[in-house]
Structure 1
Amino acid sequence: MTRQLVLASSSRYRRALLERLRLPFTAASPDVDETPAAAESPRAMVERLSQAKAAALSTRFSEALIIGSDQCVVQGDRIIGKPGTHAAAREQLKAASGQRVEVLTGLCLLDAATQATWLDVVTYEVEFRTLDDAEIERYLLAEQPYDCAGSIQSEGLGIALLRHMRGDDPSALVGLPLIRLCEMLRAAGVSVPP
């Protein structure tokens, strides 16, 4: 019997990534408060939120394998979230100009039937070129990455803003680490590729 696979996300980017695996899945938005806990590290936050997102759908999809994911960008000791607006994205990119940031992506696979849980955090380092105001503005007008943590949309024109990227799984940078997810799915008994 094939297990139902559920993506606990409303992110179009995560849906597009999961579609690459050619596994049938349902996407549903979890209702999770994403406010960081007091004194919580960025790593602990994305781990907790990815697990919370999967758990939030476990009653509704009680026999499914549920994928939860959460991402943040860290610059120095600051967590950089989704900008939401053009002005906030401009400020994020000005602050990131010539700097390194770390992208942390929490990933959880929850077997809702047994409560078995696979949990990990995948990291990716990104270094920005020195950016001038005009190229930041052109990028923002072209991509409008207001729903992307740190205003980084590396799968599009954002790649032109970067000096280098370093990590084991480039899909983690977009929001769903597929290499690690495939390992988790195989551990849960799902054949990947199908």
Structure 2
Amino acid sequence: MPRLILGSTSPYRRELLTRLRIAFDVVAPEVDETPLAGEAPADLARRLALAKAHAVATQHPDAVVIGSDQVADLHGQPLGKPGDHARATAQLRAMRGQTVVFQTALSVVHAAQSFAQTALVPVQVRFRDLEDAEIEAYLQAEQPYDCAGSAKSEGLGIVLLDAITSDDPTALIGLPLIQTSRMLRAAGVKLL
């Protein structure tokens, strides 16, 4: 079986991939994540997932490489990782009472076999009409400054939400495992 590499520095993606109980390495992709002018959130997520997989596959052509990216889409506007408290507050205020689509893209590349697949797994998240005090209490408790959209649904962030709609429950955390499994099988990786 070919070597498997996760092309990501995300601890959330690493943790999710361990659920498949297969050996893998982690390599940080060197990819500029700056959105292109006028680039839609779904297109940005797809482009970055593929760029990350290709960047690592170029260094390790005999490996099957997974690249992934997620962009929160608020009415066509991309919301990235806030990075700090002030930006997280602004994001959560903008999202209160709104439905946000978390565009999670996945690419699997095996350069030696000329294999490349990319998929988009959108997740619709309806936020409650949050009060400023709730936003502040949440951010103080969880500090989700490294998460697109400033909320961790797998943690306390679930109390900010009214609904989550998706074909793959792990997509919202950052790596859609149903689609990942499908693509890894297509690339020749045995999962069971």
TM-score, normalised by the number of residues in structure 2: 0.97
Return the offset for 1:112: 2.2
Superposition RMSD in Å: 0.9
- State the one-letter code of the partner of 2:169: P
Return the offset for 1:38: 2.2
Quick one: distance in 2 between partners of 1:22 and 1:89?
Answer: 34
Q: Are positions 1:162 and 2:150 aligned together?
A: no
Equivalent residue for 1:153?
152
Quick one: distance in 1 between partners of 2:11 and 2:127?
Answer: 25
Return the offset for 1:62: 1.7
Equivalent residue for 1:140?
139
Structure 2: tracts of 5 or more residues without a match: none
Quick one: distance in 2 between partners of 1:135 and 1:23?
Answer: 40
Q: Secondary structure at 1:138's aligned position in 2?
A: helix
Equivalent residue for 2:64?
65
Quick one: distance in 1 between partners of 2:185 and 2:109?
Answer: 13
- State the one-letter code of the partner of 1:177: P
| Stretch deviating more after TM superposition (19-28 or 32-41) | 32-41
Quick one: distance in 2 between partners of 1:9 and 1:189?
Answer: 21
Equivalent residue for 1:49?
48
1:167-186 → structure 2 map (5 Å cutoff):
167-186=166-185
How many positions carry a matched residue from both structures?
192
TM-score, normalised by the number of residues in structure 1: 0.96
Quick one: distance in 2 between partners of 1:89 and 1:41?
Answer: 21
- State the one-letter code of the partner of 2:58: T
Quick one: distance in 1 between partners of 2:52 and 2:145?
Answer: 21
Structure 1: tracts of 5 or more residues without a match: none
Return the offset for 1:42: 1.6
Equivalent residue for 2:78?
79
| CA-to-aligned-CA distance 1:58-110 (integer Å, 9 cap, x gap) | 23212000000011001112111100001110111111111110000110000
Q: Which consecutive aligned stretches of 4+ in structure 1 deviate over 3 angstroms post-superposition?
A: none
| CA-to-aligned-CA distance 1:95-150 (integer Å, 9 cap, x gap) | 11111100001100001212310111100000011111111111111111000001
